[in-house]
Structure 1
């Protein structure tokens, strides 16, 4: 099979197209999946630059997200059969088991039925961002109907699905964007107020939208500076969640005065720490999201697809910044 393999850290050029033996089922609960698409995420570029996150290290096949059709199943597989379409978020953190490849062996417990309403490219690009946004809004911030929610980067991979998950929960959404085109997308996805941070003062806009009270929930998908700047935009006793390291240099005096609940979310933790119960919960999240997709309450925006051989171009695109929605590799 063809795969994209990495042997050392570096620029996108270290991603090499190679021929490798097709993986084989080795336990009774495993399945062989012929991949149709794999998501490309910022974490992939960080591993490429900084090194593997698992001890298996390099050489490695990157790619956490995948979608495809089952070709063969182990003797104890009961949930699926050959011909079923599945999606999942697993692998790609070190060693051979990533999804930048034509085939992948995965345990049945880690895959879920692909929503029929999604194309393979959409399904392959979606799991990591869906789980991330769900864990941030539902598991960490405990979102409720009627709340006002600020989502930074509303046209990005995580941001564009976070808007929809918040709206589906009955919340009102305000988001930050960098252009009129991205504002139009965010509004189409359900955002009530779109703030172009290049043209408007974000603090003034948020406080005006909330009549000076601040939002009930703020979700940072950008980084430490934005996390710090968001603290005074959250209502007293509100929630501020980030998917990134907020930095040890944070000044939390105002957060303390506001009695904010500060939360961190890293959806890769169940893989990195081998937490089966948490992995099962993430599977449940995908199924809940699939139900939203099927009723038309959630869509995945894939702004560009690349052939497997052009994985390096996809990495370059991500590292330029400001990608709308998601990028995906497509495999024939």
Structure 2
């Protein structure tokens, strides 16, 4: 089979190589799946660089989520059968950027019938992360104002849709007019282009001076620092990641004085501490997809041969929305 492999760490364009390799072997609780679609995610960029918290042994195939068709199952698999269309997180080092991959049944879910292969492939990490951030960690309420940074990105776009589905007023912050248009298509009530506008002033004007009740921050750095200037009384800032490259050093006296909360979310930890919460989240996301309330917007549907360029552009910050590769 064909698979993209990283033989040494570095920038995605430099280290990704399309190779002919043997099909991976599924263990007792795993399934071999034919990859139908695999989206690009920022962790794929970090993994190529050796900067992600998970560091697969070299050589490895990146691709942290996919939609696939079950080809064979291990002896202990009870949740799925050959022929099932599923989504989930591959068992590294056999990631999703290949013709075949391996999924453990505990990291696998039925693909929602309301979504096509590309859409379904993008419903796992980004939407689960956003759902946990908005509903489990910050308890976003109907009528509250949600500020989403990187609103045209993978996890940010999920937060915009889930915020609207929860009845919140959503402000999306993006970088550039093309990304602004994408955020509007997602349903954001107000879109702010940080290249030409000050989102702090925009948030204060939109909320009549109150500020944002919840800030969804996968960027860090300046995005976090400025968010503390427009956070509402009893507001919550949920930290998703640091795509901007700078980890903030929060002034806790400021959080005390303004009475807001700083909340962390590492979605992957739930696999170790509360798998049932992940399973329940997928049921809710499927319900929302069936109701037409969430639907990943796929900006690019590319072939398997385009992986190195697509992941490279994601690392450069020039992609818009979800980029999905279909073998």
Contact 1:151 1:173 in 2 (8 A): yes
**CA 1:194 to 1:188, structure 2 compared with 1: closer, same or farther past 3 Å?**
same
CA distance in structure 2 between the partners assigned to 1:231 and 1:238 by the alignment: 10
1:71 aligned partner: 71
CA distance in structure 2 between the partners assigned to 1:53 and 1:18 by the alignment: 26
Task: Point out the more displaced range, 237-246 or 61-70.
Answer: 237-246
Contact 1:51 1:57 in 2 (8 A): no
2:24 aligned partner: 23
CA distance in structure 2 between the partners assigned to 1:155 and 1:203 by the alignment: 18
The root-mean-square deviation of aligned C-alpha atoms, in Å, is: 2.0
2:229 aligned partner: 232
Aligned counterparts, 1:1-332, within 5 A: 1-11=1-11, 12-27=13-28, 29-50=29-50, 53-54=53-54, 56-92=56-92, 96-245=93-242, 247=247, 249-270=249-270, 275=272, 277-331=273-327
CA distance in structure 2 between the partners assigned to 1:16 and 1:240 by the alignment: 39
**CA 1:288 to 1:319, structure 2 compared with 1: closer, same or farther past 3 Å?**
same
Task: Deviation per CA, 1:58-80: give whole Å up to 9, x if none.
Answer: 11111111111111223443322
**What is the CA-CA distance between 1:50 and the residue it aligns to?**
2.5
**What is the CA-CA distance between 1:320 and the residue it aligns to?**
2.3
Task: Point out the more displaced range, 237-246 or 107-116.
Answer: 237-246
**CA 1:54 to 1:156, structure 2 compared with 1: closer, same or farther past 3 Å?**
closer
**CA 1:250 to 1:53, structure 2 compared with 1: closer, same or farther past 3 Å?**
closer
**CA 1:183 to 1:302, structure 2 compared with 1: closer, same or farther past 3 Å?**
same
Contact 1:172 1:192 in 2 (8 A): yes
CA distance in structure 2 between the partners assigned to 1:177 and 1:108 by the alignment: 36
Instruction: Give the count of matched residue pairs.
Output: 323
**CA 1:80 to 1:50, structure 2 compared with 1: closer, same or farther past 3 Å?**
closer
**What is the CA-CA distance between 1:159 and the residue it aligns to?**
1.4
* Contiguous gaps of at least 5 residues in structure 2: none
CA distance in structure 2 between the partners assigned to 1:248 and 1:197 by the alignment: 18
CA distance in structure 2 between the partners assigned to 1:312 and 1:225 by the alignment: 29
3-state SS, counterpart of residue 133 of structure 1 = helix
CA distance in structure 1 between the partners assigned to 2:192 and 2:51 by the alignment: 36
TM-score (normalised: structure 2): 0.91
* Contiguous gaps of at least 5 residues in structure 1: none
Task: Deviation per CA, 1:258-303: give whole Å up to 9, x if none.
Answer: 12110122223356xxx1x434422332232121111110111121
3-state SS, counterpart of residue 313 of structure 1 = helix
Contact 1:63 1:91 in 2 (8 A): no
Moved >6 Å (runs of 4+): none
**What is the CA-CA distance between 1:190 and the residue it aligns to?**
2.2
Contact 1:232 1:255 in 2 (8 A): no
**What is the CA-CA distance between 1:56 and the residue it aligns to?**
4.5
Task: Point out the more displaced range, 51-60 or 299-308.
Answer: 51-60
CA distance in structure 1 between the partners assigned to 2:182 and 2:6 by the alignment: 35
